[in-house]
A and B are shown apart, each in its own frame.
Chain A
Amino acid sequence: MTFHRVGVEVDETRAVAIRASRWRRLRPGDWVVRLGAIAVVLGVWELFGPTLNKLILRPPSDIFRAFFELVANGELQDAMGQSFRELFGGLAVALAVGLVLGVASGRWRFVYNAIDPLVSALYSVPSVALVPLIAVAFKSVGDPPRIATVALFAVFPILINTQQGVRNVDRQLMEVARSFNTSERRLWTDVILPSATPYVLAGVRLAIGRGLIGMIVAEFFIGLVGLGYLIISYENVFRIDRMFVPVIVVATMGILMMGFVQWLEGRIAPWLKREQ
């Protein structure tokens, strides 16, 4: 028996070690592939783009130059300040509304029944179609209508994912909690919220992408400001190299913010890293 026990313990330790090496998210090799893929796309673009259409497919080196021009005259910083104010404001509103409604509708049948048809309806309508309505509702004055647009674009993935996370809580763990005489408050902190966390974070990741779209759409439709304004105005004068600068800024913002959420997930939900 002693012999068996030692054998099994060693085996178990090894199994843990093997799994540990697989958990690490990105290995150096992964980075080579990721950066290499970007380099290949840029290289092909640089070499062959201008041969296809000189006017529209300006090479990355031109865009790179345009980037410094826009930084030098301060246009880009101004536009980014404006746009990110809308983006973060809208995402904050979406997060607050999405979390509250998601948790409430996931937990209480009444709330779920009350909001589910509306959520489904609003989520099915292309959000773009509602932007003029927002413009009118806010009388097109200042940032609030654009913030509301970002919030409209971003709120549904957060709301729906939070709701699913709360609804999908493991019944067996709920029973364990009851077995140990949990209080309602501890039920939330020990079971419901942690189990909903990965759903919420996946929702936030989706919301970032949709929020960036909402930001540009709002700037096209309501007032022409920020990065959206840069895109439209340089497109109108066929400065495609400059037009691409805000586009790339938006893309980079998406990468950075999603990376941040992933990092955040590792911080607030460290147990997830160890799956798979």
Chain B
Amino acid sequence: MTAAPVRISVEHATKRFALGAVTVFEGLDLAVRDGETLCILGPSGCGKTTLLRCMHGLARIDDGRVVIDGAEVHSPSRKVAMVFQHFGLMPWKRVRENVAYGLELAGLPKATIQERVARYIDMVGLRGFEHSYPNQLSGGMQQRAGLARALAVEPDILLMDEPFGSLDALTREILQDELLRIYQLAPRTMVFITHSIEEAIAMGDRILVLSARPARVRELFQVDISRPRTVQSVIAHPRFIPLREHCWRLLREHAA
């Protein structure tokens, strides 16, 4: 794992809002290695989402740079796909059309699109709902569709912006398990933003803890719990409680 090459590196990144009056983060450095899941954990409003948007090229950083596979990021690349906290499904597209969206924009042939849409709808457990509109689905099912849409473009890198943050506890755990299963099927580089300690431990190979704004790297550490995992197996693991306490301490120091 330590030998894996770096896919994404954020170098001395600084982001300010409101004409420079608010510093979201300053001089931030981090690296995401090939095939790993890096969880970024931080208190609400510390700029995690902004950081992820900058990594994707949806927002500009004011200083420093973001590099993916050696190339500086200025705008979204097809190598990268994002799953949004607000799901971001188009209400006027059926599930099938939403999942096909990225593939159509990538200009893939029709047959490929059909095959991939069917495969990924299957993978996230939405078979039978291909023709539903998003508002006919529960939140959990909508996010399954959001996940399928991102997976379908078969991105090298998956950016997850608190994808399960707006779901109820039960649905969240089910989807965490689904994502763990899918990841274990085909590991890919993933950055996972969350404010849930349990989620960070369950999903992450490494956890980066940020401080409150302006966000700084508090600590970066390995989650020494082997895969394959399920949420239950992680919680039952002897390392879970010590890791959780460690995260708690890091977050609480800065939560005030």
**A residues at B contact (CB < 8 Å):** 1, 4-5, 8-9, 12, 15-16, 19-20, 172-173, 175-176, 178-183, 186, 190-191, 194-195, 197, 269-271, 274-275
Given the known interface contacts A4-B174, A180-B101, the answer about A275 and B135 at a Cβ–Cβ threshold of 8 Å is yes
Q: Which chain B residues border A182 with CB–CB below 8 Å?
A: 105
A201 to chain B, nearest CB (A): 13
Q: Which chain A residues border B106 with CB–CB below 8 Å?
A: 181
Q: Which chain B residues border A190 with CB–CB below 8 Å?
A: 90, 93, 101
Closest chain B residue to A9, Cβ basis: B125
Given the known interface contacts A172-B86, A181-B78, the answer about A16 and B101 at a Cβ–Cβ threshold of 8 Å is no
What are 29 pairs between A and B in contact, CB < 8 Å? A1-B174, A1-B232, A4-B170, A4-B173, A4-B174, A8-B170, A15-B138, A16-B132, A16-B136, A173-B90, A175-B84, A179-B58, A179-B76, A179-B82, A180-B101, A180-B105, A180-B153, A181-B76, A181-B105, A181-B106, A191-B90, A194-B90, A195-B92, A269-B92, A270-B133, A271-B92, A271-B133, A274-B133, A274-B135
Q: Which chain B residues border A12 with CB–CB below 8 Å?
A: 137-138, 140-141
Residue total for B at the interface (Cβ-Cβ under 8 A)? 37
A275 to chain B, nearest CB (A): 6
B78, B91, B92, most chain A CB atoms within 10 A:
B92
A4→B133 CA distance, assembly (Å): 24
Q: Which chain B residues border A195 with CB–CB below 8 Å?
A: 92
Residue among A1, A16, A274 making CB contact with B230, cutoff 8 Å: A1
Q: Does B81 contact A (CB under 8 A)?
A: yes
Q: Does B177 contact A (CB under 8 A)?
A: yes
A246 to chain B, nearest CB (A): 40
Give chain A's interface secondary structure class: helix
Residue among B76, B81, B171 making CB contact with A8, cutoff 8 Å: B171
Query: Are B56 and A179 in contact, with the CB atoms below 8 A?
Result: yes
Q: Does B102 contact A (CB under 8 A)?
A: yes
B235 to chain A, nearest CB (A): 12
A181→B125 CA distance, assembly (Å): 26
Q: Does B88 contact A (CB under 8 A)?
A: yes
A265 to chain B, nearest CB (A): 12
Q: Which chain A residues border B136 with CB–CB below 8 Å?
A: 16, 19-20, 274
Q: Which chain A residues border B77 with CB–CB below 8 Å?
A: 181
Query: Are B88 and A172 in contact, with the CB atoms below 8 A?
Result: yes
Chain B 55-90 per-residue mask, 1 if CB under 8 angstroms from chain A, else 0: 010100000000000000001111001101010101
Known: A12-B138, A172-B86. 17 other contacts (CB 8 A): A1-B174, A5-B174, A8-B174, A16-B132, A16-B137, A173-B90, A175-B84, A175-B88, A176-B90, A178-B75, A178-B76, A179-B58, A181-B76, A181-B77, A182-B105, A270-B133, A275-B135
Q: Which chain B residues border A5 with CB–CB below 8 Å?
A: 125, 174
Given the known interface contacts A1-B230, A179-B58, the answer about A271 and B105 at a Cβ–Cβ threshold of 8 Å is no
Q: Which chain B residues border A178 with CB–CB below 8 Å?
A: 58, 75-76
A191→B153 CA distance, assembly (Å): 19
A197→B90 CA distance, assembly (Å): 13
B13 to chain A, nearest CB (A): 19
A95→B86 CA distance, assembly (Å): 34
